[in-house]
Amino acid sequence: MTKRLFIFGLGFSARVIARAALAQGWQVAGTTRSGGGAGLDGITVFAFDRGHPLPEQALDGVTHVLSSVPPDERGDAVMDCVGARLRALAPAWVGYLSTTGVYGDRGGAWVDEDSPVHPDLERSRRRVAAEQAWLASGLPVHLFRLAGIYGPGRSAIDSVRAGNARRIVKPGQVFSRIHVEDIAQAVLASVQRPRPGAIYNVCDDDCAPPQDVISHACALLGLEPPAELDWDQAKASLSPMALSFYADNKRVRNDRLKAELGVTLRYPSYRQGLAAIVAQPPH
């Protein structure tokens, strides 16, 4: 049987997943808002959002489906616009990329997949509703709750090179992270070991303060790190989005990812991940 993967929302993470699937011999198609396919060689691209219906033929022969489309104020656009067609398609496997933001602020405490969701932010509340819609869809859904995503072109290395890195120190604050290649590895491992209804935290082994990551990036580049900024001073100059990232403080466990899916992280810490990015040509 030809393996055909359809990805709703070919963004930063989904593009890496798509290329990894292509490398494994899959046929891959997916969507962007515009229908543009720049940088997506070998992938059939369709336009899709609430104002651009998916062409009828787009899902022909599709065996596996992944959505990385974030919910909007009206809900999950994929479920709302294409849910009935997906149920009629009856794919063998469905994945949904969510976020560890659904756990909310835990004051630095640990969470795992059995921890109750407790979203503090509006976008995280929308994610919880989207997760519930996918799980209730009747499709063989697998949820992937992603930690802070980084990779080539989107990392502390890139921030330092661009001259806009800041070492903001909020006492006790830690973040969990995940390299985009490990996201792809986790998703494709789930395809090989399907368990509909499963939820996986996709994060590395090293919850760390954000200022430490900037310091390490500077060290790799042979640069002096920027001066530390006290949280009380820095927060007045942060955008609402940046402020929201600091609103949640938790440590995320990834035991299930390793035990159930047999994943060995390529980048178990930001140290290995940033070193790999330095070794690649700058984007």
What would the 3-class secondary structure string for the chain be?
Answer: CCCEEEEECCCHHHHHHHHHHHHCCCEEEEEECCCCCCCCCCCEEEECECCECCCHHHHCCCCEEEECCCCECCECHHHHHHHHHHHHHCCCEEEEEEEHHHHCCCCCCEECCCCCCCCCCHHHHHHHHHHHHHHCCCCCEEEEEECEEEECCECHHHHHHHCCCCEEECCCCCECEEEHHHHHHHHHHHHHCCCCCCEEEECCCCCECHHHHHHHHHHHHCCCCCCEEEHHHHHHHCCHHHHHHCCCCCEECCHHHHHHHCCCCCCCCHHHHHHHHHHCCCC
CA angle 33, 95, 277 (to 5 degrees): 70
| Averaged confidence pLDDT in the chain | 96
For residue 283, pLDDT beyond 60: no
Section 246-265 average pLDDT: 97
For residue 61, pLDDT beyond 70: yes
Alpha carbon distances (Å) from 186 to 24, 92, 149, 190, 278: 14, 17, 13, 6, 23
Query: In this structure, is residue 210 part of a structural domain?
Result: no
Query: In this structure, is residue 88 part of a structural domain?
Result: yes
Task: Please state the φ and ψ torsions of residue 135, each to the nearest 5 degrees.
Answer: -65, -30
The pair of structure tokens assigned to 160 is 């330092």
Q: How far apart are CA 71 and CA 69, in angstroms?
A: 7
Pairing mode of beta strands 199-202, 93-99: unpaired
The pair of structure tokens assigned to 191 is 């395809």
Query: In this structure, is residue 274 part of a structural domain?
Result: no
Residue 62 is part of which domain span? 4-149+178-203+251-266
**What region, left, alpha or beta, does residue 138 occupy, with left being phi > 0 and alpha being psi -120 to 50 degrees?**
left
Number of domains in the chain: 1
Query: In this structure, is residue 43 part of a structural domain?
Result: yes
For residue 1, pLDDT beyond 80: no
Proportion of the chain above pLDDT 70, given as a percent: 99
The pair of structure tokens assigned to 48 is 């899709």
Please tell me the least confidently modeled range out of 32-41, 111-120, 205-214.
Answer: 32-41
Task: Please state the φ and ψ torsions of residue 200, each to the nearest 5 degrees.
Answer: -130, 125
- CA end-to-end distance (rounded Å), the chain: 37
Section 98-108 average pLDDT: 96
Q: What is the pLDDT of residue 282?
A: 59
Query: In this structure, is residue 167 part of a structural domain?
Result: no
For residue 184, pLDDT beyond 60: yes
Q: What is the pLDDT of residue 21?
A: 98
pLDDT band at 18 (very low <50, low <70, confident <90, very high): very high
Query: In this structure, is residue 238 part of a structural domain?
Result: no
Task: Please state the φ and ψ torsions of residue 154, each to the nearest 5 degrees.
Answer: -145, 80
Residue 22: which CATH number? 3.40.50.720
Query: In this structure, is residue 102 part of a structural domain?
Result: yes
For residue 24, pLDDT beyond 70: yes
Query: In this structure, is residue 273 part of a structural domain?
Result: no
Closest among 237, 182, 225 to 206, alpha carbons compared: 182
Pairing mode of beta strands 251-252, 110-111: parallel
| Number of residues that this document lists for the chain | 283
